[in-house]
């Protein structure tokens, strides 16, 4: 495999956080040129705004392509896998994981464009934050550097107003800015030219939905307040995207360089990470092996899933074969408190798989789409046991598809002999096998029970 390396370091689980950056800008309103105040005459104001218009149309951030070359290259790009109900965070090399999963590779390739948008979003928020405490106090907007700070803030505000990277939030941001600015233009001390100094009259204010024009009516102190409010809004959007939206959207999570696995635990993830580093299959128990199979399936790590499935299948078949040979019922194997389920030959291959049959049966019953191999083992074991009471006990927790498979197997089992059966008296049937002339007695009571079970199902 091109992705392999001669070195196989053990994975280290530790918390991690990823960042990226980019930016954009937009153009000011022509109305600003009609206001003749000190702020309007600040050196470089128009030049900054024109430059902002140019930069707003540029994509300044790109994402490096994943290249499958040496092992060191595969570990350069790190993502986080977050597992458990509290989403405990662990770093994983994306390139290495992609070597074992085409699903992950496709997911992150599809998320590249959105990943760039998230980087621009983070950069906008970071640039706004640089104009606020603790880097700058709000009083700075009233000092000698106030106009210069306001110019920088306007560039970012206009980008958010017209070209926010996450377009689904654009309308919300515009409405938010409109509300904030409309409340500020009513305060005379925050206007660049208040009516008392010959500025625009209240009745002549631009329409409320003309957010950009109203923005230019504010002085540096007013721009500072808009900056603070907008930063809080961008923080709220970031929180929503990371804590809520990404939980239900794998594409968005991937764009944030994350894989969210709230229904898998850290131990299982640790075994998977060890596998992608060294191709070593480790697990703590039979139940853990089932969990590892489920995780490998979800992430599309097919090699690991196949190894888990092979071990589980072989162990279950060996355990059932041993039970049949020693007169141990399937019900006994499913009972964790049963002495016979633990009293096994230490030389048997399945000995290291404590309670394997019961665990696999539970796994198949609870899994929405269990693997065909394990499904067949469970169906055959239940049908061959001819224990309809056990079947009735399990029926309540069965998915419809599994119940249907068992029903079909029962029908086949009890109808195969029909061509050779002759009805006899006293509630029994005698069968004559044509090829061997062998007489077999079949209990019709069992046939009736199966028939009733099938009809109930």
pLDDT category at 151 given cuts 50, 70, 90 is very high
Bridge-based pairing of strands 258-261 and 428-432 is unpaired
- Asked if 90 and 83 touch (Cβ cutoff 8 Å), the reply is yes
Q: Which comes out higher in pLDDT, residue 324 or 36?
A: 324
Counted residue by residue, the chain has a size of 457
The Cα 368–Cα 378 span in angstroms is 15
Q: pLDDT tens digits, residue range 111-141?
A: 999 999 999 999 999 999 999 999 999 999 9
pLDDT in tens, 352-370: 577 888 899 989 988 888 9
pTM: 0.71
Give the integer Cα–Cα distance in Å for 121 and 119: 5
Which residues, in sequence order, are CB contacts of 228 under 8 Å at separation 6+?
A: 132, 138
Burial of 412 (0-12, 13-18, 19+ CB in 10 A): exposed
pLDDT surpassing 50 at residue 65: no
Alpha-carbon distance of 239 to 16, in angstroms, equals 17
Per-residue pLDDT averaged across 326-354, rounded? 62
pLDDT at 38: 38
pLDDT at position 93 is 95
Most confident of 22-31, 84-93, 325-334: 84-93
Query: What would the pLDDT profile of 166-214 be if each residue is shown by its tens digit?
Result: 999 999 999 999 999 999 998 989 998 876 666 677 777 788 889 999 9
More confident: 7 or 107: 107
């Amino acid at each position: 495999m091109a992705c392999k390396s001669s070195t196989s370091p053990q994975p280290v689980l530790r918390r991690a956080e990823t960042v990226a950056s980019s930016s954009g800008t937009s153009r000011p309103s022509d109305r600003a040129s009609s206001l003749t105040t000190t702020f309007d005459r600040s050196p470089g104001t128009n030049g900054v705004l024109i430059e902002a218009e140019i930069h707003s149309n540029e994509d300044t951030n790109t994402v490096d392509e994943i290249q499958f070359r040496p092992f060191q290259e595969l570990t350069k790009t790190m993502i986080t896998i977050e597992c458990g109900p509290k989403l405990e965070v662990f770093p994983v090399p994306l390139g290495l994981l992609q070597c074992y999963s085409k699903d992950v590779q496709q997911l992150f390739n599809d998320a590249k464009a959105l990943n760039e948008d998230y980087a621009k979003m983070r950069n906008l928020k970071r640039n706004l934050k640089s104009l606020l405490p603790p880097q700058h106090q709000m009083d700075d907007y009233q000092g000698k550097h106030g106009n210069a700070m306001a110019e920088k803030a306007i560039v970012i505000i206009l980008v958010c107003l017209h070209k926010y990277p996450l377009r689904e939030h654009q309308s919300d941001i515009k409405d938010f800015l409109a509300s904030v600015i409309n409340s500020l233009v009513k305060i005379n001390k925050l206007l660049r030219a208040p009516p008392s100094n010959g500025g625009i009259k209240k009745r002549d204010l631009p329409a409320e939905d003309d957010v950009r024009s109203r923005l230019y009516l504010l002085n540096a102190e007013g721009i500072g307040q808009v900056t603070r409010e907008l930063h809080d809004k961008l923080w709220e959007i970031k929180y929503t995207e990371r804590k809520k939206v990404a939980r239900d959207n794998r594409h968005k999570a991937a764009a944030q360089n994350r894989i969210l696995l709230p229904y898998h635990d850290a131990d299982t993830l640790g075994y998977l990470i060890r596998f992608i580093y060294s191709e070593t299959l480790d697990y703590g128990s039979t139940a853990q092996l089932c969990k590892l199979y489920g995780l490998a399936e979800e992430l599309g790590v097919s090699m690991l899933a196949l190894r888990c499935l092979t071990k589980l299948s072989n162990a279950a078949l060996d355990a059932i074969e041993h039970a049949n040979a020693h007169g141990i019922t399937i019900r006994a194997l499913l009972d964790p408190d049963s002495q016979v389920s633990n009293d096994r030959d230490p030389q048997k291959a399945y000995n290291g798989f404590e309670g394997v049959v019961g665990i696999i049966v539970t796994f198949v019953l609870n899994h929405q789409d269990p693997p065909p191999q394990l499904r067949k083992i469970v169906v055959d074991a239940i049908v061959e046991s001819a224990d309809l009471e056990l079947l009735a006990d399990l029926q309540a927790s069965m998915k419809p598809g599994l119940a249907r498979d068992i029903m079909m197997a029962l029908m086949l089992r009890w109808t195969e002999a029909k061509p050779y059966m002759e009805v006899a008296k006293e509630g029994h049937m005698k069968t004559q096998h044509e090829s061997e002339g062998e007489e077999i007695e079949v209990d019709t009571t069992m046939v009736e029970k199966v028939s009733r079970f099938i009809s109930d199902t």
